Chains A and B, each alone.
Chain A
Amino acid sequence: MDLIWEGLRKALELLLTLDPEVLRITLLSLEVSGLATLISLVIGLGVAIPVALNEFPGKRLVIALLNTGMGLPPVVVGLFVTVLLWRNGPLGFLEILYTPSAMILAQAVIASPIIAGISLSALQHLPPGLRLQILALGASRPQMVWLLLKEARLPLLAAVMAGFGGVISEVGASIMVGGNIKGQTRVLTTATVMETSKGNFEVAFALSILLLVLAFSVNAVLTHLQQRNRPR
């Protein structure tokens, strides 16, 4: 119990004194996971929309693959991305291993299937007649897609939250492709692991609390967007 109070006190202290190192770590967590989520949103919708709106052979297989992808273990993604990005690996020429870009890439791989999977079921859940109705009113195809997305806004924002939640909290991929380098790729989760291994439990606890606060703040904003003038 002492540890928890000590951690809370330390977290408050780090927050109030605006410790520059902690601030940088927190902002980098937000930046990396935020960008990864945005990229995943584009990829996720890019996959979910055509799959939802078209019938084609193998559609069930694609959906099953997407749903499996929602559970991709971060360490597996981390290992895979590391091997790809090695200097002597196929994408080595990019020279982004151990940079925030590599972490964004790995996290986008983790979040994309999550967002695609939830968006797909959201779009499939819309009333089947809606599409015909919109087209009958003379909408072009892009207009129809846009209206469907608006209609499914609630579950789509839930997809974004699930994607963001998945990557802001993961540590396996970030530590492998980022390297937990001080001042460059250290984020809240990797710093927590390191402080724990150094035996600085209060600091680790304080970082965990910051992580929870950050995740809550982002979700509060998204929830606000989601619940504001809900469709009907």
Chain B
Amino acid sequence: MRTPRFPGWTWLLAASLACAGLQAGQPAAKTVILATTTSTQDSGLLDELIPRFEKQTGYVVKTIAVGSGQAIAMGKKGEADVLLVHSPDAEKALMAEGSGVNRRLVMHNDFILLGPAGDPARVRGKAAAAALQAIAAGHAVFMSRGDNSGTHAQEKKLWAAAGLKPEGQAWYQQTGLGMGQTLAVAAEKRAYTLSDRGTYLALRKKLGLEILSEGDAALLNVYHVIEVDPARHPRVNTPGARAFADFLVSKAVQTTIKEFGIGTFGSPLFFPDAGRPE
């Protein structure tokens, strides 16, 4: 009878576990967790900004792109260091609660009401509230994000301003998905939907949706950067968060934001706002 020996794979396993262990040992002080919205990632803006920040400062950024609702919840729990979000009411609640410091204006673009070219509810050219009323009156299908994102929060505010409660209606549907996927669903179902302009422009050529209502003051989409308060959450990387926030409002980056997308989409996706009054 042959004596059992260690089979080959146990050595392989030991070696690979060692490798995995080495990989995990990234010093936390050099890592910044950025919780942000899907729109900044899906538009490609972060792909341009993050590598530059990492090169300039030596920090490693972990970008978690989720809805603004989840991003703000991560801030409240101290699970992120810095937030780049666009849900003003939820942001103010976060600041009031004392979980964030140094909320600063970064940029804006606007929300647009999109729909099929046929425009069955005849909303083209109407102001936001009137357009939503027309959609509700016509029982035209409206595709909502339904995910507590900044866009969803804005949409709920618009319905409330129009004096309507669409939840539960057959024509009011929720995807629970990010902006890009919701646009795809809306296009496929010939539905109306609300989108930020950046994501729409980035995806426009693949969709059959048209801008039907825009330019209303109620449709402004404002992005703020917020540092998570280290007093409440001691494990937060404060210097890293500060460095990233400073980076976003710096002159050079604001210029990049201003020019971002002109080459690819023919028009800018975001307008820099740092230092301006709210």
Contact = CB atoms under 8 A, between A and B. Distances in A.
Contacts of A74: none
B26 A99 contact: yes
A42 B79 contact: no
A104 B13 CA distance: 13
Interface stretch (B177-185, B219-227, B246-254): B177-185
A194 B9 CA distance: 35
Interface string A49-67: 0000000000000000000
> What is the interface of chain B mostly: helix, strand, loop, or mixed?
helix
A231 interface: no
A90 interface: no
A148 B13 CA distance: 21
A34 B13 CA distance: 10
B96 interface: no
B64 A98 contact: yes
Contact of A198 (B16, B63, B203, B207): B203
A143 B12 contact: no
Contacts of A41: 9, 13
Contact of A99 (B24, B233, B235): B24
A198 B13 contact: no
A210 to B, nearest CB: 20
B202 A142 contact: no
Contacts of A34: 16
Contacts of B210: none
Interface in B195-213: 202-203, 206-207
14 contacts: A39-B13, A41-B13, A87-B79, A88-B77, A100-B20, A104-B20, A137-B1, A142-B4, A184-B62, A197-B180, A198-B42, A198-B180, A199-B183, A199-B184
B108 to A, nearest CB: 22
Contacts of B65: 180
Interface string A167-196: 000000000000111101000000000101
Given A95-B26, A196-B181, 16 more contacts: A35-B20, A38-B12, A39-B17, A41-B13, A96-B24, A99-B24, A101-B24, A142-B4, A143-B4, A179-B62, A182-B50, A194-B41, A198-B42, A198-B180, A198-B203, A199-B183
B202 A181 contact: no
Contacts of B4: 142-143, 146
A139 interface: yes
A94 interface: yes
B23 A198 contact: no
A101 B177 contact: no
Contacts of B50: 182
A88 B1 contact: no
Interface in A37-86: 38-39, 41-42, 86
Nearest to B4: A146
> Which of B4, B42, B180 has most chain A Cβ within 10 Å?
B4
B38 A199 contact: no
Interface in B1-44: 1, 3-4, 9, 12-13, 16-17, 20-21, 23-24, 26, 28, 33, 38, 41-42
B1 A138 contact: yes
Interface in A131-156: 137-139, 142-143, 146
B62 A181 contact: yes
